[in-house]
Structure 1
Amino acid sequence: MRLGWDEIKRRARAFSQEWKDAHYEKGETQSFYNDFFEIFGVRRRTVASYERRVESIDANRRGFIDLFWPGTLIIEQKSGGRDLLKAQGQALEYFDWLPDNQKPRYILTCDFQRWHLIDLDTNQDWRFTLAELHKHIEAFAFVLGRQRTFQTQATVTIKAAELMGKLHDALEESGYVGHDLERLLVRLLFCLFADDTGIFQPAQIFLQLLENDTADDGRDTGRVLMELFDVLDTPDGQNGTENERQSTLAGELNQFPYINGDLFAGRLRTPVFDAKMRQLLIDACRHNWSGVSPAIFGSLFQSVMDAKERRAKGAHYTSEANILKVIGPLFLDDLTAELERIIARKTGRDALLDEFVAKLSRLTFLDPACGCGNFLVIAYRELRRLELAALEARWPKTMTSTGEVRRQGIIDPGLLSRVQVSQFYGIEVEEFPARIAEVAMWMADHLANNALGDAFSTNYARIPLRDSAHILHADALETDWSSLIAPEKLNYIMGNPPFVGAKFQTPEQRAQVRAIAGLGGSGGTLDFVAAWFIKAGQFVAANHRIRIAFVATNSISQGEQVAQLWPILFDRFHLEIAFAHRTFSWGSEARGKAHVHVVVIGLVHRDHQPAEKRLFSYPDIRREPIESRHEALTAYLFDARGVTNRHLVVKEEARPINGAGKLLIGSKPIDGGQYIFDASERSRFLSEEPGAAKFLHPYLGSQEFINGGLRWILYLAAAEPSELRELPNVRQRIANVRAIREKSPSAGTRMLAHTPASYHVTVVPEQPYLVIPKVSSERREYVPLGWLEPPTIASDLLFVQPTASLSDFAILTSRAHMAWLAHIGGRLKSDFRYSIGLVYNTFPWPDATPAQRARIEALAQAVLDARAAHPTASLADLYDPDTMPADLRRAHHALDLAVDKLYRAAPFASDRDRVEHLFGRYEALVNPLERLGAAKNRRMARKRDKADHAA
């Protein structure tokens, strides 16, 4: 029978009355605690034993614990009037002697009349007399498997996942695989959680079943589990059900409740355990699952996937802190503020609280890439917390005539709770995580019911399970979402869709994205996550009140994808950005955890956009953000106040639109490595063919230019046939290149086989030239561009500006240009990826007078001189933020200020401030018709900037 706290308190009073004269340790302890456990409807012998022998680590001391519940409780009992402080010291000594997996959370010292209970996890303690026991009885909620506080701890969660991962591996190694293994793990996970959180009562009966009713060698463990699953799927006559269990069922099994919910329906192949596998399950069972979030299921799922599978599916387990960054501005912050306003009212509060709870019960949520249900779980938990806060305000506590604190007029608080797991919907392509998501939601529901029971002094649980989250096992990109929930019934779409870049997509994934985007032509280069944004946009087109929030790789808010994706969202579906988190590091709590750079973007239909848009920026991508409010946000996630068209996107340009000289890609041989030599290869080659020396040129890519080192390349464009005739080794390499090109699957490369001595791309300037590395580390404040001189040849990993002046270098190495690169350019992983068409050709160059140009040229030369002052340092050393010399930093800072003043007199507060200004300049370049409006916006922005600066 599931006892409520009122009944438990009544029993506690009766216990106190019966034992009011007890004082003798030896004669009365065991009867005393047998009766104590009966207060909770628990048979003491099922969970705890008397006189447990323990000994010190060095085995020279030993003792006996008066009552021991492994992993939960030590009781050190004394006769009336004895020193409880000394008893506590003895109990703590016994604690130290115990193995780690048996160390308890609670210590009770008692002399029958005086009680002192300590929670070693929280350092909370309770001191009271026997007569006051009923007032403090809820401190013993752990007897029912109920913890007074529930806190998610990453270490506890990860440990639980690792334990289950070991069990999974052992079962799989034994040949128990596939669908049965997945269903078995899900059922075991529910049992482990239920054993520690009060679903199973008394606490730890599942552990007791494994330890007492299965053989040490594990041979019958699988059979006992199958019997248990049958029991959990059979009505027991409680909670309005008919008793369908056999009368001959063993008492150990019959005490398990009826769970239902289809979780235990259907037969599984019986697993054959051995001693090691049984012990792994018992170890997992001894872990304290009451401190585990339901999001553990996500961690478990990822812990049993290898790295290759993780990358293919794009799965990233999401921490709760990061989930809150999505659901907070999506709905939770507004609901919290609404409840606070209601509670603060002086009149009409009760009716508003009732309507608020009813409103919560009407909200619906869809995660169309739900995985193991992490977003659904946390959203449900937070909704139930809001509901509980509203119910507590609606039914305040009052003092009874007996001095107890109770809530007014409440008989069954379960009738007041209206938020259900059935308000939540998910789509998941893999069956295992889909089933895990269902169970995770039941776990979250039970924890919320525990909190409700604690608040209203009852023991409340929703079992058997009747409501379930709606989790569809299907491919979300091939499924009509309205088959799961109609658009008009939905409020929020949220989640963390798979992170798979365009280059890493399977042919099937690429086809899905292109079909959904409908870009035509080559189909674009959208990341996989973009398809979820577009599908969600289609849903909003059917119901303009739906709000969207997704996590995505930051590639959708910078680089070439912006011009492909955002016109669809802005123009086709009329969406606006309601809030956004700019780039930050998205950590995982899973085994083999992944770290990626992401953004969070919240979207609404234009007809229902908020007046203020929230923007969360990260000065440090691994720390907390700074929030700002704006009238409108661009697709690049910065303020749109400097432009007339907030939907403006930067498109690749074939040639500079800014008056700059043409930037070229460096030489690209397509030679299979035949023409390229490192120092030792060059030395050996010239020892055999010294006449080739005149044709070997220094050859630098990004790596060599930034970090130092040198390679060499055969450059044969100027070689006469008569010279080549005398160089047989060179001719052999030419023949090898011809053969390599002829075998290429590319028709263009096969055409190049007719001219094997030539490069695919040949850029060999005859005077000093400027080079820009194609890729540079995100850690650097400046991309280390610079000059090369003939005969050095730049590879295609360097961009070449053959006619660049010192003033060009000054602009390109400035913070203004770096800001444009960082916000508009793409990324390779997290590193800056320079682009001719997207960055260089579109960058808005400043106007400069001859005097201003001379000024920045002098400052640019100072930068070069500061570099030259450190001749042994590579560019990597010079531009590492930890080792950058002070004189070089000062030179760059002076140049930055001078270039900034070419754009406006007022200083820029940040790189984001710079790029917002540059974006307005860009708009004027690409749309002369809007130049007047853009100029006006810039003037207004300058006035605001001056006012802000003055403030």
Structure 2
Amino acid sequence: MRLSWNEVRVRAATFADEWSNAVRETSETHSFYNAFFRVFGVERRSVARYEEHVAKLDNSSGFIDLFWPGVLIVEQKSAGRDLSKAYGQAGEYFDALKERDRPRYILVSDFQTFELHDLDERTEVRSSLKDLPAHVEHFGFILGVQKRTFRDQDPANIKAAELVGRLHDALHAANYRGHDLERFLVRIVFCLFADDTGIFEPRDIFLEFIETRTSEDGADLGPWLRQVFEVLNSPEEERSPLLDEDLARFPYVNGDLFREHLRTPSFNASMREALLDVCRFDWSNISPAIFGALFQSVMEPEQRRAQGAHYTTEKNILKVIEPLFMDDLRAEFKHLKSRKDSRRRTDLRRFQEKLGSMRFFDPACGCGNFLIIAYRELRQLEIEVLKEIHPNRQLDALAEELSLVDVDQFYGIELGEFPARIAETAMWMMDHIMNNRLSLEFGQTYVRIPLESSPHIMHGDALEVDWQEVLPPEKCSFVFGNPPFIGAKFQTAEQRAQVRRIAALGKSGGTLDYVTAWFIKAGDYVQEGSARIGFVATNSITQGEQVAQLWPILLDRLKLEIAFAHRTFAWGSDARGKAHVHVAILGVDQRDRAGAEKRLFSYTDINGEPEESRHAVLSPYLFDAAG
């Protein structure tokens, strides 16, 4: 069981008192760090080792005082020594390590002072030993809890995609294919993430299990993995008392992820090494949104074009969800936050309840990128609200009742079964990240394992499914996403028939892009509720003949109007294959619910940042229609 931050602080205070007189590197380092790791409830020997030999780049050799592969280098000095020199020495060790073993953190210390360097964030935190209790959160990586900044085109994301792609290719070449392969990869990636973020405790038990319990030739790897998956699907109270001790350390996950029986894959030595490569990679830095890129990395290019799939950067996702709902929610919170009256706290609680009651629907969700980022932004806003409700971080509620926003507020439809399951799993991953962030803020351990809530991701054709069966329109708050981009001349006969039927344009069906069917179906769906709509679209629907075919349906038949829009810009992809197209973003409201001011984002450089302007009315060509 992971310790709460409050318990860690108590232990840190005791540790600081007990080691206040430590001064000598040679005689006290090992005992010091054994005790230091116990502050966090972790046995040092389970994750890190002392005196790791390193052959440096200048052909000399050295020994790392404490080494946690892929996570931490510690360079320890006696009291009063120059820590800048210690950091330089640690840097030499870092450069000499294999890439897969290079850590994110370097800690230098003289017993009485700690300097922790985060190489990813390029930050340094300095603390005296006596002040350690106030700084324990900076060492959250020991628990698998750490602050993360996710960046588009992060090299770590790209590397992760490549590693999973190689594992996929190796299994596929060994005739392990189709549904079993897809489901197997989703399970593996969940385990990798769990191993590095505190879902599995202690950290790296999955990696350690593969390294120490499976043979180097890979012959027994498949059967061992099958047993791991069975354990992850078994409540602790239902497990055999004779269960292998290493297997028994894995938690019950729930969520149906490990329930289905899969064919057992066969491995050889090189395939085992491919799995170990992805296990050794630090998955704590991976955004769950990268699941989309992981999927596209193993898709055939022809399949990607046929589906019109264009995985989306986080930056571009925010261009949809911020004007659709996040900007308004943040403005409402800012107003509540600024109030000084006696009802301020009560109304902040009601605002949090509002966040927990909203429903979000992506009817072309792919691997869930839009849902994942929307969930993250909503949870982050909720954390800010909770900080105002509990300004001293003293809770008057149980920790498990703290967050009201959950993954079961999110709905999606996806044509492919594999991406639908990826979306579901990635939402759980983001939930865990946000629970860790909440834990950091409030000093209490907040977890949702075993999984009890699930996102509602339907596997089906969104243009054939009745959306009311997924989420009744009167319960829906927002419909949004990135529907497929397939021009009229690239559509199959079935796709053209779908567009023609939904648009009700008669036998010809016009030359409408496939994406327009989502706009029309969404417009019809929201008639029985008050949901707002925001979609990415090919820029052609705001140009030429498509305007004459599509917009009379939206404006006249469905009584919608444009609430916000991004004019044409370049839409990039984080996935291998780099899908780049020119797009527009359209947000539409029911006319009787639309605001008076319309937001327009224009680009002087289609690869640059937009400039915003406000208007009374926007035309389908994305110009001011008021003159």
2-side partners of 1:554 and 1:371: how far apart?
Answer: 21
**Contact 1:231 / 1:254 at 8 angstroms: preserved in 2?**
yes
Find 2:580's aligned residue among 583, 595, 598.
Answer: 595
Q: Does 1:38 align with 2:38?
A: yes
Please give the per-residue CA displacement for 1:303-329, whole angstroms capped at 9, x wherever unaligned. 111211111100000111111111111
Secondary structure at 1:461 match in 2: coil
2-side partners of 1:443 and 1:604: how far apart?
Answer: 32
Residue identity matched to 2:372: V
1-side partners of 2:590 and 2:159: how far apart?
Answer: 43
Following TM superposition, by how much is the alpha carbon of 1:104 offset from its aligned partner in structure 2, in angstroms? 1.4
Give matches, 1:112-191, under 5 Å. 112-154=111-153, 155-191=155-191
1-side partners of 2:490 and 2:204: how far apart?
Answer: 47
**Contact 1:153 / 1:292 at 8 angstroms: preserved in 2?**
no
Find 1:394's aligned residue among 381, 389, 393.
Answer: 389
Structure 1 residues 46, 639: CA separation in 2 closer, same or farther (over 3 Å shift)?
same
Structure 2 partner of 1:193: 193
Secondary structure at 2:130 match in 1: helix
Residue identity matched to 2:384: A
**Contact 2:568 / 2:582 at 8 angstroms: preserved in 1?**
yes
Structure 2 partner of 1:11: 11
Tell me which of the two structures has the higher relative contact order, counting C-alpha pairs closer than 8 angstroms and 6 or more residues apart.
2
2-side partners of 1:378 and 1:122: how far apart?
Answer: 21
Following TM superposition, by how much is the alpha carbon of 1:55 offset from its aligned partner in structure 2, in angstroms? 1.0
Give matches, 1:508-547, under 5 Å. 508-543=494-529, 545-547=530-532
Residue identity matched to 1:394: I
Please give the per-residue CA displacement for 1:171-221, whole angstroms capped at 9, x wherever unaligned. 111111011100111111111111222212222222222222222222222
Residue identity matched to 1:481: W
Structure 1 partner of 2:98: 99
**Contact 1:540 / 1:573 at 8 angstroms: preserved in 2?**
no
Structure 2 partner of 1:269: 263
**Which region of structure 1 is more displaced relative to structure 2, 384-393 or 429-438?**
384-393
2-side partners of 1:10 and 1:428: how far apart?
Answer: 48
Q: Where in structure 2 are there 5+ consecutive unaligned residues?
A: none
Following TM superposition, by how much is the alpha carbon of 1:365 offset from its aligned partner in structure 2, in angstroms? 0.8
Structure 1 partner of 2:433: 447
Give matches, 1:345-360, under 5 Å. 345-347=339-341, 348-360=343-355
1-side partners of 2:107 and 2:39: how far apart?
Answer: 17
Q: Does 1:22 align with 2:22?
A: yes
Secondary structure at 1:560 match in 2: helix
Q: Does 1:384 align with 2:412?
A: no
Following TM superposition, by how much is the alpha carbon of 1:364 offset from its aligned partner in structure 2, in angstroms? 0.5
Give matches, 1:273-292, under 5 Å. 273-292=267-286
Following TM superposition, by how much is the alpha carbon of 1:372 offset from its aligned partner in structure 2, in angstroms? 0.2
Find 2:330's aligned residue among 336, 343, 355.
Answer: 336
Secondary structure at 2:75 match in 1: strand
2-side partners of 1:71 and 1:375: how far apart?
Answer: 30
Structure 2 partner of 1:87: 86
**Contact 2:152 / 2:313 at 8 angstroms: preserved in 1?**
no
2-side partners of 1:108 and 1:147: how far apart?
Answer: 16
Following TM superposition, by how much is the alpha carbon of 1:44 offset from its aligned partner in structure 2, in angstroms? 1.6
Secondary structure at 2:192 match in 1: helix
Secondary structure at 2:536 match in 1: strand
Residue identity matched to 2:65: D
**Contact 1:76 / 1:87 at 8 angstroms: preserved in 2?**
yes
2-side partners of 1:483 and 1:618: how far apart?
Answer: 39
**Contact 1:150 / 1:290 at 8 angstroms: preserved in 2?**
no
Q: Does 1:613 align with 2:612?
A: no
Residue identity matched to 1:88: Y
1-side partners of 2:481 and 2:560: how far apart?
Answer: 18
2-side partners of 1:633 and 1:99: how far apart?
Answer: 56
2-side partners of 1:330 and 1:409: how far apart?
Answer: 32
1-side partners of 2:553 and 2:85: how far apart?
Answer: 73
2-side partners of 1:17 and 1:590: how far apart?
Answer: 51
Secondary structure at 1:295 match in 2: helix
Find 1:576's aligned residue among 546, 561, 567.
Answer: 561
Structure 1 residues 118, 411: CA separation in 2 closer, same or farther (over 3 Å shift)?
farther
Residue identity matched to 2:604: P
Structure 2 partner of 1:490: 476
1-side partners of 2:214 and 2:29: how far apart?
Answer: 31
Please give the per-residue CA displacement for 1:226-280, whole angstroms capped at 9, x wherever unaligned. 11111211123xxxxxx22222333332222211111111221111122222222
Structure 2 partner of 1:309: 303
1-side partners of 2:585 and 2:192: how far apart?
Answer: 34
Structure 1 residues 153, 580: CA separation in 2 closer, same or farther (over 3 Å shift)?
closer
Residue identity matched to 1:249: L
Residue identity matched to 1:173: A
Following TM superposition, by how much is the alpha carbon of 1:82 offset from its aligned partner in structure 2, in angstroms? 4.0
Q: Where in structure 1 are there 5+ consecutive unaligned residues?
A: 237-242, 398-406, 643-951
Following TM superposition, by how much is the alpha carbon of 1:38 offset from its aligned partner in structure 2, in angstroms? 1.9
Structure 2 partner of 1:75: 74
1-side partners of 2:565 and 2:524: how far apart?
Answer: 20
* Structure of larger gyration radius: 1
Secondary structure at 2:579 match in 1: coil
**Contact 2:47 / 2:68 at 8 angstroms: preserved in 1?**
yes
Q: Does 1:365 align with 2:360?
A: yes
2-side partners of 1:542 and 1:75: how far apart?
Answer: 61
**Which region of structure 1 is more displaced relative to structure 2, 23-32 or 547-556?**
23-32
Please give the per-residue CA displacement for 1:834-867, whole angstroms capped at 9, x wherever unaligned. xxxxxxxxxxxxxxxxxxxxxxxxxxxxxxxxxx
Structure 2 partner of 1:232: 232
**Contact 2:146 / 2:437 at 8 angstroms: preserved in 1?**
no
Structure 2 partner of 1:415: 401
1-side partners of 2:114 and 2:360: how far apart?
Answer: 48
CA-based RMSD: 1.6
**Contact 1:142 / 1:203 at 8 angstroms: preserved in 2?**
no
2-side partners of 1:182 and 1:100: how far apart?
Answer: 28
